[in-house]
A and B are shown apart, each in its own frame.
Chain A
Amino acid sequence: MTAPVFLTGDLPAYRVAIASLSHSAARADGPAGALAVIRGDGAWWEDARRAAAGGAVALLVDEPEAAPTDVPALRGELGVPVLVRRPSLRSGIVDDALRSLDGSALRSVVAECQASFADAPRVVRDAVGWMRVLTGGADGAPAVLRGRPGRHGTTARLRWAGGVGASLIVTLVASGGGLLRVRASGETALEIDLDAPMGRSVLGVGTSAGWLMTPPRHEQPEREALRRALELVRDGSPTGDLAGFGADAATAATILAR
Chain B
Amino acid sequence: MRGVGIIGAGPGVAALHLPTLARLAERLRVVHLADRGSGRAAALAEPLGAAASEGTAALLADPAVEIVAICSPPDEHAGHILACVEAGVRAILCEKPLATNAADARAVVEACRDAGIPLLVATNHVYDEAWDRAKRYLVALGSDVRSVSVTVALPPNGRYHSAVAELAPSAAPPRGAPDLGDPDVAAAVVRQLVLGLAVHDLPAIRDLAPDFEGVDFAAAVAPLGYSIGFRSSGVPVLLDAVMLPDGPDAFWRLSIGAGADRVDVEFPPSFVHAGSATVRVRSAEPRETTYRRDGSDGYVREWLALAELLDGVTAMEPHELLDDALFAIGLADAAAAAIRAGGAS
Contacts and interface: CB of A to CB of B under 8 A. Distances in A.
Interface of A: 107-108, 110, 112, 114, 145-148, 150-157, 159, 164-165, 167-177, 179, 183, 185-189, 195, 197-198, 206-208, 210-211
B227 A179 contact: no
Contacts of A155: 216-217, 229-230, 236-238
A128 B248 CA distance: 25
Contact of A172 (B146, B153, B238): B146
A155 to B, nearest CB: 3
Given A167-B229, A195-B282, A145 B217 contact: yes
A107 B262 contact: no
For the residues of A in contact with B, the DSSP-based class is: strand
Output the residue of B216, B237, B245, B253 with the most chain A CB within 10 A.
B216
Interface residues of B, number: 43
A187 B247 contact: yes
B260 A175 contact: yes
B238 A110 contact: yes
Contacts of B286: 176, 195, 197-198
A153 B219 contact: no
A139 B235 CA distance: 32
Nearest to A154: B236
B134 to A, nearest CB: 16
Interface string B127-150: 000000000000000000011010
Contact of B153 (A108, A148, A165, A171): A108
Contacts, number: 147
Interface of B: 146-147, 149, 151, 153, 155, 216-217, 219, 221-223, 225, 227, 229-231, 234-238, 240, 242, 244-249, 251, 253, 255, 257, 259-260, 262, 282, 284, 286, 288, 342, 345
Given A175-B284, A206-B251, 8 more contacts: A108-B227, A108-B242, A157-B227, A176-B284, A183-B251, A186-B244, A186-B247, A207-B247
B149 A112 contact: yes
For the residues of B in contact with A, the DSSP-based class is: strand
B194 to A, nearest CB: 15
B282 A153 contact: no
Contacts of A172: 146
5 contacts: A108-B221, A108-B225, A155-B236, A169-B147, A169-B236
B217 A157 contact: yes
A247 B15 CA distance: 49
Contacts of B345: 159, 165
Contacts of A198: 282, 286, 288
Nearest to B216: A147
A199 to B, nearest CB: 9
Contacts of B146: 152-153, 171-173
A72 B238 CA distance: 33
B244 A170 contact: no
B255 to A, nearest CB: 6
Nearest to B258: A171
A219 B221 CA distance: 38
Nearest to B153: A185
B151 A170 contact: no
Nearest to B245: A187
A189 B248 contact: yes
Contacts of A110: 149, 151, 227, 238, 240
B242 A185 contact: yes
Contact of A206 (B149, B216, B248, B255): B248
A150 B236 CA distance: 7
A206 B234 contact: no
